[in-house]
Amino acid sequence: MADSIGFIGLGIMGRPMARNLLRAGYPVTVWNRSRPGIDELAREGAAPASSPEDVGSRSDVVITMVTDSPDVEEVALGPRGIVEGGRPGLVHIDMSTISPAVTRRIAAGLAEKGIEMLDAPVSGGDAGAQAGTLSIMVGGKDAVFQRCRPIFEALGRTIVYCGASGAGQTVKLCNQIVVALNNLATCEALVFAAKAGIDTRRMLEAVGAGAASSWQLLNLAPRMLDRDFRPGFKIAHQQKDLRLALEAAEQQAVPLPGTSLVHQLFAAVEAQGLGAEGTQALIKALEKLAGVEVR
């Protein structure tokens, strides 16, 4: 019999992930802070819940996909949280991107009630969530990971066990460092080409086929040229992840100069009130500095 799964957080990522679990045949109970996500999934066969506590009481495994560290703490350990409805043997899989240190603190709090926790952040954006092709990096007990592997296989294509509690979140922050700096490199190349009078689409065709290719170059650069700044991943969320990376690096006395720079450039875009745009809008900060618009 398939595990009964609870899913908390039905945003851009959570909604298609919960939908893929339903398609895989899992009984799914859902909760979200706003009602539309619950109603949409309920029409597709999910059971609506009244609170995280209610989700915990009705599930073998509870997945959270929310915004930041305080949000996960609240739904896991807060009043009417998962811990109040859960029982020994319940597994909480947090697939948000949050602080590794906070992850370990939540895991310790849940363990006091016999509840296991895996941190399993994802990469692949909304497209990966919809297609079920996410990259999933997992921290926690290996035995718990092995038990939950079939669930991960319904959500992603690349599933990597990274180590003890917090390891998944640390690897996700590595991912975000690379993503952000590749985005900056893409923006700089486009602005440089535009200022030099080069056909930017031809530049992308040439560079994208060689050693400089990246996901950002192939996927975000065309959106920049089309002036399409709709979010697959919002700048505000990217900034949260970069802040987490910089905080964790500071705790370990690790310098991240490139990450610090791109964090500040995103801040310049946020200062224009554009934090809800997609991360491809980073190009706007470079355009302003160079006095050119890329098309």
Segment 141-186, tens digit of pLDDT: 999 999 999 999 999 999 999 999 999 999 999 999 999 999 999 9
Token look-up 């690349």 returns 158
Token look-up 């948000």 returns 96
Q: With contact defined as beta carbons under 8 Å apart, do 238 and 176 qualify?
A: yes
Find the distance separating the first CA and the last CA of the chain, reported in whole Å.
54
**CA atoms of 149 and 160, how far apart (whole Å):** 10
What is the per-residue pLDDT for 48?
A: 97
Residue 290: which residues within 8 A CB-CB, separation 6 or more?
191, 194, 195
**CA atoms of 105 and 102, how far apart (whole Å):** 5
Q: With contact defined as beta carbons under 8 Å apart, do 52 and 85 qualify?
A: yes
Backbone angles phi, psi at 34, to 5 degrees: -110, 155
Catalytic residue among 172, 195, 240, 284: 172
What is the per-residue pLDDT for 125?
A: 85
What is the per-residue pLDDT for 232?
A: 83
pLDDT, tens only, 205-231: 999 999 999 999 999 999 999 999 998
Which structure tokens are listed for 44? Answer: 């597709």
* Beta strands, E only, the chain: 5-8, 28-31, 47-48, 61-64, 91-94, 116-119, 122-123, 134-139, 156-163
Q: Is 172 one of the annotated active-site residues of the chain?
A: yes
Q: Is the pLDDT of residue 233 over 90?
A: no
**CA atoms of 38 and 124, how far apart (whole Å):** 23
Q: Is the pLDDT of residue 96 over 70?
A: yes
Ramachandran bin of 70, using left for φ above 0, alpha for ψ from -120 to 50, beta for the remaining angles:
alpha
Nearest residue to 30 via CA among 163, 22, 133, 73: 22
* Beta strands, E only, 22-178: 28-31, 47-48, 61-64, 91-94, 116-119, 122-123, 134-139, 156-163
Nearest residue to 292 via CA among 204, 195, 213: 195
Q: Does domain 171-290 have CATH number 3.40.630.30?
A: no
Give the percent of the chain with pLDDT over 70: 100
pLDDT, tens only, 10-36: 998 999 999 999 999 999 999 999 999
pLDDT, tens only, 236-271: 999 999 999 999 999 999 999 999 999 999 999 999
Alpha carbon of residue 172 to chain centroid: 8
CATH of domain 5-164: 3.40.50.720
Task: Kindly list the domain boundaries of the chain, sorted by start residue.
Answer: 5-164, 171-290
Q: Is the pLDDT of residue 44 over 80?
A: yes
pLDDT, tens only, 105-146: 999 999 999 999 999 999 988 889 999 999 999 999 999 999
State the pLDDT confidence band at 1, using cuts at 50, 70 and 90.
low
